[in-house]
Amino acid sequence: MAATKNYGLDAGKEGEEAPSKRICIRSSEETEGMAEEIDTSYFKSYEHIGIHEEMIRDVVRTNSYRLAILRASDALIGKVVADVGAGTGVLSCFCVQAGARKVYAIEASSMAKQAQSVAQANGASKKINVIQDRVENIELPEKVDAIVSEWMGHFLLYESMLNSVISARDRWLKKDGLILPNKANLYLAPFTNDLFYSERIEFWSTVKEKFGVDMSCIKPEAKKSLCSAIHIEEVYGGDLLARENLISELNLETMTQDDLQCIKSSFRFSCFGKETFCGFTAWFTVTFDPKVKGKELLTLSTSPDEPCTHWRQCAMYLDEPIDVEQDTIIAGTITLTPGKQNRRFLNVELTYQVDEREAVTKNYSLTDGSS
């Protein structure tokens, strides 16, 4: 008998890189109704199995969470846990393996159905209570002893999921309860990557030779677009031009949602040697404190000097590269704010000065269209 199958052409098709954590809506104004539409689209993006495959395939990420949760077993045995943004339920299963009595696995997307299947397949359906809804809409029947969540987006804050973790903490977490991870640091450093200009911008000058059509007139628009976006790419440790600066330190046990409305920090770099300064790169670490005597802290790092994760690094390019040498000073300020039209997007303002040159201010954005 002939078989019929239906296929869809989308971001999750086989053979393409699984879509990173991106949302799929552009809004015109931040009204209550529009914010709800933004959230609906955001959660719908997590229905793609490819996103979850990408995250679980990330051995650094998944193993870090597994080890951190099992290391906290003394604090979790017989306890109640909230898994915020549970996805497929893998962290909830780790919590059960660590001895948790009850796990509220909260997932707003339809992936909650898969989380329920995973719980059942692992003999944990009586301990894992999957709830398909937004954290902000839920009232749990009891306080929890711990919150686990993999909330980090590109540039740490993209997607604004941390707001939901803070909401869960304020409403459900017992006094002195456990949060995994409980701290996050964001870092910035200058870096070099000449290939960006030769391969991305100069590409338009090569079209005539290849195809007989002069498209070099597009170069100014290409530069304007590419040099105002935040690029998600792998940056190598050897491409850093100076020691990184810590630009934000977040304590999930004490911070508020207001703290996320504007993060501003100054920076000052002294260059290692003669090189071409092409832009700034950012990455983050998160720390898991098991709050168990004798158990060491565990840190998950997305640094260029560590094995690559699915977050990779964030790169922000200058309009024109600048030659630097040993002890060249690059100083300025960086400001991070949620997107004005879409609060799950991220805006970055960078003001920088190279030695005695004139200071430059550039604005970058991380949206669902970022490369």
Helix or strand (DSSP H, E) at 277? strand 275-288
54 is catalytic: no
DSSP assignment of 109-172, as one string? Answer: STTHHHHHHHHHHTT-TTTEEEE-S-GGG---SS-EEEEE----BTTBTTT-THHHHHHHHHHH
Instruction: Given the residues 16, 37, 136, 150, select the one marked as catalytic.
Output: 150
pLDDT of 369 above 70: no
CATH topology of domain 32-183: Rossmann fold (3.40.50)
* pLDDT value at residue 38: 72
37-43: list long-range contacts, CB under 8 Å, 24+ apart: 38/342, 38/343, 38/344, 39/108, 39/134, 39/344, 42/159, 42/344, 43/108, 43/109, 43/134
What pLDDT was estimated at residue 45?
76
15 Cβ partners below 8 Å, 6+ apart?
none
| Closest by Cα among 331, 353, 310 to 21 | 310
pLDDT > 90? residue 366? yes
Domain boundaries, the chain: 32-183, 185-366
Confidence bin at 31 (pLDDT 50/70/90): very low
In the prediction, which pLDDT does 34 show?
61
**Fold of the domain built from segment(s) 185-366:** Hnrnp arginine n-methyltransferase1 (2.70.160)
Give residue 48's pLDDT band: very low, low, confident or very high (50, 70, 90): confident
Residue 37, Cβ neighbours under 10 Å: how many?
14
Q: How far apart are CA 236 and CA 338, in angstroms?
A: 28
| Bond preceding residue 181 cis, omega within 30 of 0 | yes
Closest CA to 191 of 278, 283, 303, 314: 278
Is the predicted pLDDT of residue 82 greater than 60, yes or no? yes
Greater model confidence, 216 or 3: 216
CA pseudo-torsion sign 40, 45, 48, 53: negative
Reading the block at residue 99, the tokens are: 């001895």
**How high is the pLDDT of residue 13?**
36
Distance CA 180, CA 287 (A): 8
Query: Once rounded to an integer, what is the mean pLDDT over residues 98-124?
Result: 97
Residues 188/302, Cβ–Cβ less than 8 Å: no
* Rounded Cα distance, 216 and 202, in Å: 8
Report, as an integer, the average pLDDT of 31-41.
Answer: 65
Average pLDDT over residues 220-243: 97
1 has pLDDT over 50 = yes
Across the range 288-298, mean pLDDT stands at 92
**Does the pLDDT of residue 15 top 70, yes or no?**
no
Residue 142 known to be catalytic: no
Residues 279, 357, 371: CA angle, nearest 5 degrees: 15
User: Among 107, 159, 244, 275, which one carries the catalytic annotation?
Assistant: 159
Mean pLDDT computed over every residue of the chain: 91
| Strand order, beta sheet including 263-270 | 263-270, 329-338, 346-354, 360-366
- Tens-place pLDDT, residues 182-231: 999 999 999 999 999 999 999 999 999 999 999 999 999 999 999 999 99
Q: For residue 9, what pLDDT is reported?
A: 43
**Contact assessment for residue 21 and residue 51, using Cβ atoms and an 8 Å cutoff:** yes
